[in-house]
Amino acid sequence: MSSGLEIPDDEKGYDLDLFCIPKHYENDLERVFIPHGLIMDRTERLARDIMHDMGEHHIVALCVLKGGYKFFADLLDYIKALNRNSDKSVPLTVDFIRLKSYSNDESTNSVKVIGGDELSALSGKNVLIVEDIVETGKTMQTLLSILNGYNPKMVKVVSLLVKRTPRSSGYRPDYTGFEIPDKFVVGYALDYNEYFRDLSHICVMNEHGKQKYKI
Ligand code: HPA
Ligand code: MG
């Protein structure tokens, strides 16, 4: 269990003008925080680490929508490349779930799994949960306890991002792409009120963007 690539609190990111940004978001962003290329390079290595640990048996890759969809697609492409080019390979099947969390207060966090196949199909399987970001960790802890009720053989969690925040429960995914400061980030399928999923780089919004897409 590694912290992933640690991005320090004083990381300034990169000027928008150094990269290509969709015109419709140009005025809404402050900085590029993690360029798309770096996301891809880190994801390639995560795929290798995951296959090293899980590559003996059929893997059920479970995408947590909507934020996980880009990371899921790119991670699976790298795993498929390993399967094509290695002496050993394993079949991958996929499923897609959404989580609805109802948090009444800090301590009682209830999560409902929406969509996807019957969870009973995970019995005896090696399950890889693919998530975009772990912040408090409570949602993931609740999901894990739900899944464990269906007796999978193994469950591993990979999250592209883990936020360093005092709100963390202390939960850590098995695999982490990047550990980031306590900032709100968007892009690469992470959203702010459904916007910015269609942005390749992970970025920090500016005040104009926060106001424009506020609900
Ligand atoms: N960005 C987008 N979605 C999120 C974040 C974030 O920083 N944290 C939790 N969900
Ligand atoms: Mg998420």
Phi/psi class of residue 40: alpha, beta or left (left: φ > 0; alpha: ψ in -120 to 50)?
alpha
Q: In what order do the strands lie in the sheet with 29-34?
A: 29-34, 202-205, 185-186
Indicate the top mutation candidate among 171, 179, 184, 203 to test ligand 1's pocket, ranked by most ligand atoms within 8 A of CB.
Answer: 184
Band (pLDDT 50/70/90 cuts) for residue 55 is confident
- Is the CB–ligand 1 distance for residue 133 below 6 Å? yes
Q: Taking Cα atoms as reference points, which of 164, 190, 187 lies closest to residue 16? A: 187
CATH assignment of 5-212, among 3.40.50.2020, 3.40.50.300, 3.40.50.261, 3.40.50.280 = 3.40.50.2020
Q: Does 8 score more than 60 pLDDT?
A: yes
The pLDDT score that the predictor gives to residue 88 is: 87
Output the residue whose Cα is nearest ligand 1's atom 5: 184
Q: For residue range 142-178, what is the model confidence (pLDDT) as tens digits?
A: 999 999 999 999 999 999 999 999 999 999 999 999 9
**Cβ of 185 below 6 Å from ligand 1:** yes
What's the token pair of residue 10? 């004083």
Residue-wise pLDDT for 9-44, tens only, equals 999 999 999 999 999 999 999 999 999 999 999 999
What is the domain partition of the chain in residue ranges?
Answer: 5-212
Q: Is residue 101 over pLDDT 80?
A: no
Helix (H) or strand (E) holding 205: strand 202-205
Rounded to whole angstroms, the Cα distance separating 183 from 3 reads 17
* Mean pLDDT on 100-110: 65
**For ligand 1, is residue 135 a contact (CB within 6 Å)?**
yes
Q: Does residue 111 surpass a pLDDT of 90?
A: no
Mean pLDDT in the chain?
Answer: 95
Structure tokens that stand for 53 in this block:
């640990």
